[in-house]
Structure 1
Amino acid sequence: MSNITIYTQPDCPPCEIAKLFLNEYGFTYELKDIKKDNKARNELINKYQSYSTPTFVINGETVITGFEIEKLKEALNIE
């Protein structure tokens, strides 16, 4: 199973859809709220060069910015 981290923030409709999508396929994931967690926000910007939510980090290497369903399906081997 994949190790998934989602950088999110309150009132982010794509973030909510992304969580529903992952739940539908039975994936577990770690949420990092960039509004409440300064370390997570800095990590998102400095380590992953992203200013957008949701941003997904899969297995510590694949980074997907935004709810890109086809990219997620490919990275998570969903047919």
Structure 2
Amino acid sequence: MKKITVYTQPECPPCEITKRFLTESGFSFEIKNIKTDRKARKELIETYQSYSTPTIVIGDTVITGFDLEKLKIELNIQD
């Protein structure tokens, strides 16, 4: 299984939906809060060229913003 990292911040409803979806689908993931973790914020901007949350990194794939369909495709989840 590929490592999953979710870049998030407080007061972000799409972030909460993404985390809930991953949890309910049985996936383990790392949470990086860009408001409290300067290193995570720098990593999000410099490594992934993203300024928005959620940004989900699955292996080498980066999904910027809330996109449940892309997430399902990347995780091979079928409805």
Quick check: TM above 0.5? yes
Give the C-alpha shift of residue 35 in structure 1.
0.4
Query: Within 5 Å, which residues of 2 pair with 1:29-40?
Result: 29-40=29-40
Distance 1:28 1:22 in 2: 7
Identity of aligned residues (%): 68
Q: TM-score, normalised by structure 1?
A: 0.95
Q: Which residue of 1 aligns with 2:22?
A: 22
Distance 1:62 1:17 in 2: 19
Give the C-alpha shift of residue 2 in structure 1.
2.7
Query: Within 5 Å, which residues of 2 pair with 1:1-79?
Result: 1-59=1-59, 61-79=60-78
Moved over 2 A (4+): none
Q: TM-score, normalised by structure 2?
A: 0.95
Gaps spanning 5+ residues in structure 1: where? Answer: none
Give the C-alpha shift of residue 3 in structure 1.
1.0
The letter of the residue matching 1:76 is L
Please give the secondary structure, in 2, of the residue aligned with 1:28: coil
Give the C-alpha shift of residue 24 in structure 1.
1.1
Report the count of equivalent residues.
78
